[in-house]
Amino acid sequence: MSLKANVEAGIKQAMLAKDKTRLQALRSIKSQILLAETEKGGADELTQDAEMKLLTKSAKQRRDSAEIYRTQGRQDLEEVELAELAVIEEFLPKQLDEGDLRERLLEIIQRTGALGPSDMGKVMGVASRELAGLADGRAISSAVSALLNNTNA
């Protein structure tokens, strides 16, 4: 079942359950899907890769907003963002933990032949493609940087 069909089914369930937060998050996802479909020139369905990018971007926006609200002392708004983030994460694949991420990145570093920090761009290009939706871009970047700096030392 496509992401769009799953989201539409979730919207119906949220409406029946009168779950406003879940409904708002699902409607936001559906809106982004519809916008992406019309941007592509009217494609009927998004590819699975495009769906993951859309969800990852949406999750990142929620995380960033929650962080901003937390630093500003707006706990009420932070809670809304975190609740919507939880709904979005239901549609994303399980995130890699730190150990698994490090292991996968070490494999990528070996495959690309990276020797030090100067090869970060080469490693990040491959890692970003292969680990899309499995880890946050910021986490990937900091782990790659740490690994490349350690291999050089």
Sign of CA dihedral 7, 13, 16, 20: negative
Q: Give the right CATH number for 98-152 from 1.10.10.410, 3.40.225.10, 1.10.3720.10, 3.30.360.10.
A: 1.10.10.410
pLDDT of residue 95: 79
Dist CA 137 CA 128 (whole Å): 7
Cα–Cα distances (Å) from 46 to 11, 30, 128, 148, in that order, read 19, 12, 20, 35
Q: What residues does each domain of the chain span?
A: 3-89, 98-152
Task: Just give the CATH number of 3-89.
Answer: 1.10.1510.10
Say how many Å lie between the first and final Cα of the chain, rounded: 48
Categorize the per-residue pLDDT at 153 as very low, low, confident or very high, splitting at 50, 70 and 90: very low
DSSP state of 41: T
Categorize the per-residue pLDDT at 152 as very low, low, confident or very high, splitting at 50, 70 and 90: very low
pLDDT (mean) for 121-145? 83
pLDDT of residue 43: 61
Query: Does pLDDT of 105 surpass 60?
Result: yes
pLDDT, tens digit, for every residue of 4-39?
888 999 999 999 999 998 999 999 999 988 888 887
Cα–Cα distances (Å) from 16 to 1, 5, 9, 90, in that order, read 21, 17, 11, 19
What average pLDDT does the chain have? Answer: 85
